[in-house]
Homo-oligomer: A and B are copies of this chain.
């Protein structure tokens, strides 16, 4: 499929948005977010009926345009067929608490989950970490359980506050955005920043801690809307090329190096 960028503000077509959101799932698999058939993103229904959620028993790499169901904010399935993910309250409650958020993501991205399983705050050691300059990334430690009840969803939503992402200790991450591009980049940058921090700290080198005010300024300079669009289209071009080579539905499998 040739990628054409959808202008979400003008486009009332849910189908077009879900096609982009399906691509976002497949991009996130390439960026390290896959964990078997787990991981899911959602889209706030523009008619206020609830949210569109990827259906269950599919890996991120397998999600296509049709693979969404519409649920209301109490979890009742209104449209579509397929399993409703157990963790629908995570999506529903974050959307209820955050009117600015149109897309919610959840995955067990490896390095983000490693960071999340510790007391370590995410730091802006490199450009990817700068994405989180304003709000940082809080950590939800109330439980290691998956977020399958409304009270847990409410607690997670409270905990994410105004941030772009939330570490779910010993479990995974949640991440949000007002557009598909934004939620996808948030998930991608969190995993890149977490990997950077793990490698930096594992090296034993003495880290350089950037100034917090300079970091916020840096966010303003390097991540304006046009830069986000630039990155989003890059990930889509790459997805098209990878899928032209190997089709949809497999993550690039890499075993440990030859040794």
A residues touching B (Cβ–Cβ < 8 Å)?
29-32, 34-37, 56-57, 59, 62, 108-111, 113-115, 117-120, 124-127, 141, 143-146, 148, 169-172, 188, 191-192, 194-208, 210-211, 214-215, 217-218, 221-222, 230-231, 233-235, 237-238, 241-242, 245-247, 249-259
Contacts and interface: CB of A to CB of B under 8 A. Distances in A.
17 contacts: A59-B238, A110-B259, A113-B126, A114-B196, A118-B208, A119-B206, A119-B208, A145-B218, A169-B208, A170-B210, A191-B259, A195-B259, A198-B202, A202-B202, A202-B203, A238-B250, A252-B255
B146 A218 contact: yes
A189 to B, nearest CB: 9
Contact of A256 (B110, B246, B250): B110
Nearest to A35: B127
A55 to B, nearest CB: 12
Given A202-B203, A210-B170, A252-B254, A259 B111 contact: yes
A258 B203 contact: no
A184 to B, nearest CB: 12
Contacts of A215: 144
Number of copies: 4
The 3 A-B residue pairs with the shortest CB-CB distance in the complex, in nearest-first order: A118-B205, A32-B258, A195-B259
Contact of A259 (B192, B238, B245): B192
Given A36-B235, A57-B233, A144-B218, 8 more contacts: A32-B255, A32-B256, A32-B257, A108-B126, A110-B256, A114-B205, A118-B207, A254-B257
Contacts of A195: 257, 259
Nearest to A217: B145
A241 B230 contact: no
A202 B194 CA distance: 14
A257 B259 contact: no
A253 B255 contact: yes
A118 B203 contact: yes
